[in-house]
Amino acid sequence: MYVLGIETSCDETAASVVKDGRIILSNEVSSSLRFHKRYGGVVPEIASRQQLETIAEVTDCAIKEAGVSLKDINLVGVTSGPGLLGSLLVGISFAKAISLSRRIPLIGINHLYSHIYANFLDGGDAPSLPFIALVVSGGHTSLFYVEDFDKIKIMGTTLDDACGEAFDKVAKILGLGYPGGPLIERLAKSGNPKIKFSCSNTEKPLDFSFSGIKTAVLYYVRQLTGEPVPNGLTHRCVTSGFQGQTNDIAASFQKAVINTLINKSLLACRMKNIKRLVVGGGVAANGKLREKFYQQIQEKGIKCYFPLRQLCMDNAAMVAGLGYRLFKKGYNLKGEKDAY
Ligand code: KG4
Ligand code: ZN
């Protein structure tokens, strides 16, 4: 069965053809990142305008690259949320048009759940159900208990910034650019994680909070540069700025975030007595995070799963894959059952 996936939840316009829920025949991603860079984050109006201009071409490329034609497609899966409203609207309208004109079923896919499904693509060692899933992306940080892809329960979520958002904001503070995750990762490689940063505690142990650590980095940098810091903190006026310490700040911030993610994931596994942890989302591409998770989670007898690095970021293969899985369970077929 050939499924066309379409994903336009944020700045990407992505289309993919996946066979039988696992075999990726094509995976096209066109990003409007270069238009957002100068604003230090994604501008929704620019994103949706670019998606409107590129979606037909990107989909066409995905179908050609897969070596099939539109009439071979049996199902369309499209990200239906969460995401930027204007961007989602472009993808959903386009997918609906294909579905109506070709008379093939259409299925709406939850973006976070598709990040989890990325672990099931392309012949990898797919986890068996049930499992705990950690989704760490630019817009979300959540722990889920996954009994099946239509039985997902949230166990914890961020109370403020998302994990990827914290990477992006700290990168901005350090003057590194956008998106911040890969830039922080690169700098952290040559840094010493000796600065004591930590993520704030949360009332519910499986929730997350990243805005405090971001502010701690900001104040640390301000102390180094001599800029005023609120709450009467003392200034260590270092006129040469913080450049000499950028690597250490990046490494220390990254270490604190990874430790928090590991501790909360382990707690979720313990609470449900589950020995499988599945990670997904853009931040899951971070090499240090992967290394530490494999090491520290597996040490506790829990098997850890990550998607291929190129499938961590937003893509449409994960949408097509999950579309197939839900379609096989009878979801949205003839509009009788709705997945979410
Ligand atoms: O999943 P994704 O592509 O988009 C959303 O659904 O949000 O995630 C994008 C986020 C950005 O915040 C980006 O900085 C972060 O993932 N990211 C990383 C890395 N690569 C991307 N964070 C840490 N380390 C990385 N290597
Ligand atoms: Zn995403």
Q: Whose Cα sits closest to atom 16 in ligand 1?
A: 282
Does ligand 1 come within 6 angstroms of the Cβ of 99? Answer: no
Give the tokens for residue 134: 């950690």
Does ligand 1 come within 6 angstroms of the Cβ of 83? Answer: no
Contacts of 230 (CB under 8 A, 6+ apart): none
The pLDDT, as a whole number, for residue 37 is 77
Map the chain to HEC letters.
CEEEEEECCCCEEEEEEEECCCEEEEEEEEECHHHHHHHCCCCHHHHHHHHHHHHHHHHHHHHHHCCCCHHHCCEEEEEEECCCHHHHHHHHHHHHHHHHHHCCCEEEEEHHHHHHHHHHCCCCCCCCCCEEEEEECCCCEEEEEEEECCEEEEEEEECCCCHHHHHHHHHHHCCCCCCHHHHHHHHHCCCCCCCCCCCCCCCCCCCECCHHHHHHHHHHHHHHHCCCCCCCCCCCCCCCCCHHHHHHHHHHHHHHHHHHHHHHHHHHHHHHCCCEEEEECHHHHCHHHHHHHHHHHHCCCCEEECCCHHHCCCCCHHHHHHHHHHHHCCCCHHHCCCCC
| Span 55-72, pLDDT tens digits | 999 999 999 999 999 999
Which ligand is closest in space to the CA of residue 279? 1
CA of 180 relative to ligand 1 center, distance in Å: 8
Does ligand 1 come within 6 angstroms of the Cβ of 79? Answer: no
Q: pTM of the entire structure?
A: 0.93
Q: Whose Cα sits closest to atom 1 in ligand 1?
A: 282
What is the rounded distance in angstroms from the CA atom of residue 176 to the CA atom of residue 188? 12
| Span 199-239, pLDDT tens digits | 999 999 999 999 999 999 999 999 888 776 655 443 343 43
Per-residue pLDDT of the chain in tens (340 residues, 90 and over written 9): 999 999 999 999 999 999 999 999 999 999 887 888 778 778 899 999 999 999 999 999 999 999 999 999 999 999 999 999 999 999 999 999 999 999 999 999 999 999 999 999 987 788 999 999 999 999 999 999 999 999 999 999 999 999 999 999 999 999 998 899 999 999 999 999 999 999 999 999 999 999 999 999 999 999 888 776 655 443 343 434 566 799 999 999 999 999 999 999 999 999 999 999 999 999 999 999 999 999 999 999 999 999 999 999 999 999 999 999 999 998 864 444 554 4
Which ligand is closest in space to the CA of residue 283? 1
CA of 228 relative to ligand 1 center, distance in Å: 31
Burial of 258 (0-12, 13-18, 19+ CB in 10 A): buried
